[in-house]
Amino acid sequence: MFTSDEALSGVRYRAVADWGVLGKKLRANLARVKNALPTISSDEVKAYGRTGQITVDGIQLVEGDLTTLRYIELPPASEGIFATNADTDSNVVIKLDLQIHAELAGEWLARELINRIQKLRKKAGLQATDNVHVFYRFGDSTGEDIQDAITEFRDMIERTVGSVPTDVVDKKQGTQPVIEEEQVIADTKFLLYLVRP
């Protein structure tokens, strides 16, 4: 979502100084500015960005003395949210939601499985028109999330790879895999088999 409403987004302002440059200008007053700068409010820094003037501990600073940076002040309970400046001129602030959403996790697992099947087909030298059945074998008490994703996204998987992966116990006796390989998706190890019909 794009917005220019800084208050709604929690955008705050802070000022930073190039102390080497400012030191030559302020000399003995540098320590006063250095100590007082962290106490300057967000609104004062924002006003400095517009007007180019600010008073810090009684010392007048002008445009170029400070650099204003925008950032997002997150509430303490916002675990899983990360905010950062997007570029050096502070024109854009990006707020990323890094929480894992169950509805998207399943689709990601299905797409990862499709990716592994396609890579395995290529490794086996199969053509796009070659028909194969896909089987998997998970260890005990593992792979439930991937199996759930196969069920939920069955149509997408079948459209993309030509068949729906099935547990290897359902493989017909006597059929030999074209290729089999261990795979890892989301820390779950399993075997993937491609078998000609």
Do residues 50 and 74 both lie within one domain? yes
Do residues 40 and 123 both lie within one domain? no
Q: Is residue 1 part of a domain?
A: no
Q: Is residue 106 part of a domain?
A: yes
Last residue of a domain, one of 72, 97, 122: 97
Do residues 190 and 156 both lie within one domain? yes
Q: How high is the pLDDT of residue 159?
A: 95
Q: Is residue 54 part of a domain?
A: yes
Task: Quick: pLDDT tens for 61-116.
Answer: 999 899 888 877 765 554 544 444 444 445 666 766 667 777 789 999 999 999 99
Do residues 149 and 190 both lie within one domain? yes
Q: How far, in Å, CA of 30 to CA of 124, rounded?
A: 69
Overall pTM > 0.85: no
Give Cα 54 to chain centroid, integer Å: 38
Do residues 92 and 154 both lie within one domain? no
Positive or negative: CA dihedral 147, 149, 152, 155: negative
Domain that holds residue 190: 102-195
Q: How far, in Å, CA of 3 to CA of 192, rounded?
A: 45
pLDDT (average), residues 151-176: 93
